[in-house]
Structure 1
Amino acid sequence: MVQTHHFHLDAKGHSVTVNIDGGHRGAVELLVDGKETGRAEIQGGRPLILSGELPTDPPLPVSVRITPGPGTPRCIAVIDGAETVMSPRAF
């Protein structure tokens, strides 16, 4: 059975979401306000970093460190130098 995980964070009035598809060719995507801003294939349990921008004035960089496994994935967002653990989200 393929397991999909979703993580979410509201930051500075914007939505930051990470979707992790743990299938055979697993992938991770970063969405800002529902638009894909980053995507990568999962390479075993190796951590990944995806980057994007919050559409503020001026735009604010956001990066998310993703640890896909083993076990339950974990996501930490870094926005304006502050680290925040992203909450799992049920769909």
Structure 2
Amino acid sequence: MRARHHFHIDHLGHSVSVTVQTGHTPVVEVLVDGKETGHATTHDEEPVTVRVELPTDPPTPVTVRATPGPGEPRCLLLTEADGEAHVMAPRPY
């Protein structure tokens, strides 16, 4: 059975949203400032990483790491400049 889970974080003045659609082949979609900038699929409950850029000057590369399971999906925003991991808050919609 497929379910959609949404996550969000504001980073460096930009909105990063992630949708994780669970099921046999989980799908991860990443939006930056409302525009789709990356997506990936994985198998079963394996974590997946999606590299995107924030539209700063110069562009800031970041990585979204989504874990579809087991249990509830989780998402982290990993900043490449300092190596910090930021937990993305789940959204109810």
TM-score, normalization: structure 1?
0.91
**2:87 pairs with one of 70, 81, 85:** 85
Cα drift, residue 24 of structure 1: 4.7
> 2:62 maps to what in 1?
62
Cα distance in 2 between the residues matched to 1:90 and 1:24: 22
Mapping of residues 25-36 of structure 1, within 5 Å:
25-36=25-36
TM-score, normalization: structure 2?
0.89
1:76 to 2:60 alignment: no
Cα drift, residue 3 of structure 1: 1.4
Cα distance in 2 between the residues matched to 1:43 and 1:77: 21
Q: Where does structure 1 differ by over 4 angstroms across 4 or more consecutive aligned residues?
A: none
> 2:11 maps to what in 1?
11
Name the % identity: 53
Cα drift, residue 86 of structure 1: 0.6
Structure 2: runs of 5+ lacking an equivalent: none
Aligned residues: 91
Work out whether residues 63 and 78 of structure 2, in 8 Å CA contact, stay in contact via their aligned partners in 1.
yes
Cα distance in 1 between the residues matched to 2:77 and 2:25: 24
- Cα distance change on mapping 1:16 and 1:68 into 2, 3 Å: same
Which amino acid in 1 is paired with 2:10?
A: D
